[in-house]
Amino acid sequence: MDSLAAAPGTGPATSPLPVLRARTSVATFDRLPSDRTVVMGILNCTPDSFSDGGDYNSLDTAISHGLRMFYGGADIIDVGGESTRPGAEDVDEAEEQRRIMPVIEALAKAGALVSVDTRHASTAALAIDAGAGLINDVSGTHVHPDMIALIAERQVPYVLMHSRGDSRHMDALTQYDDVVEDVVRELAEVRERFYAAGVKADKLIVDPGIGFSKNAEQNWELLANLHRVAELGNRVLVGTSRKRFLGSLLTTAGKAAAPKERDDATSATTALAAAQGIWGVRVHDVGASVDAAKVAARMLVGRRNREARRAELEKAGAARAEPARAAL
């Protein structure tokens, strides 16, 4: 069994963590489920994230929560050290790395597949060296050339999310002729920069960027038309968890639902995305979304089974009709 003494933040002066379980295998991108939508658990190591800022701001609480999500069924743990909520201030790379690097190391040691949520190529490089297997970047149309070069060099899976501007300005950048078609086009344009640098197509995952430079109605239009994003040909990740447009939908007595009161609505969007065959969802409440993904996957199996039976019946009917036609 792994020893907690080897995990950062688990010495005698720190609070206890859940015991690390013996690893039977190390999670890798290639071993992710292929029969259902993948669930990525959100781990914000920040004091100011919109939903849980400060909840996991210490090393012990961050590692503990990451382990709970991992042992609770999360396929990927997405570790971030910079809030990307609207209006959030930038965090310098050194501070971001101080917050997340020990967490990434501990979770990777436990056998989890770790993603790093960062806009900075230097942080992404250190995270890969520490055991992260995926880079999740919200930079969108403003992705830095150094990040493109890093992904081309390392050939690690990378989430290309659609966004415009930074956290302080994105709410003013919601002008679209057709939000679905414009997002697809802008994703394709940025994607070509990665391809031109030598990044392999199977390493890119696209994300329509729900809530990033989109208003509530635009978010709903994107969710209703995820098939257009999927037509780009890449895996698709969707992140709706606890976002403002869900809070607005759940308004009671003129008051929007608080972020932590939006988990049921989030799991509903997981089921709807999974029913469209979407590759992955990024959520705070892992258990509910894993269940929702399993339900949607089973529904898709039922649909495919019926389609296969109908095809067999049509084929059998055509075979029976052929001799009759030949006799005429």
DSSP 231: T
Query: According to the model, what pLDDT value does residue 1 have?
Result: 33
Measure the CA–CA gap between 57 and 189, rounded to whole angstroms: 36
Alpha carbon 151 to its chain centroid, in Å, reads 18
All structural domains of the chain with their residue ranges: 4-327
Place of tokens 């007595």: 253
**pTM across the whole model:** 0.87
Residue type at position 24? T
Place of tokens 């501990």: 106
The distance in angstroms from the start CA to the end CA of the chain is 77
- The answer to whether the CB of 158 falls within 8 A of the CB of 116 is no
Q: So which residues are the catalytic ones? A: 243, 282
Which CATH number is correct for 4-327, 3.20.20.20, 3.30.420.40, 3.50.50.60, 3.20.20.210?
3.20.20.20
Among 158, 67, 61, 159, smallest CA distance to 112 is for 67
Among 44, 40, 91, 47, smallest CA distance to 70 is for 40
Measure the CA–CA gap between 178 and 203, rounded to whole angstroms: 28
Q: Which two tokens stand for residue 78?
A: 């997405």
Residue type at position 17? L
- The answer to whether the CB of 267 falls within 8 A of the CB of 246 is no
Q: Which two tokens stand for residue 127?
A: 């995270």
User: For every one of its 328 residues, what pLDDT tens digit does the chain have, with 9 covering 90 and above?
Assistant: 333 433 444 443 444 545 556 555 678 999 999 999 999 999 999 886 666 657 787 899 999 999 999 999 999 999 999 877 666 678 889 999 999 999 999 999 999 999 999 999 999 999 999 999 999 999 999 999 999 999 999 999 999 999 997 777 778 889 999 999 999 999 999 999 999 999 999 999 999 999 999 999 999 999 999 999 999 999 999 999 999 999 999 999 999 999 999 999 999 999 999 999 999 999 999 999 999 999 999 999 999 999 999 999 988 888 887 776 666 6
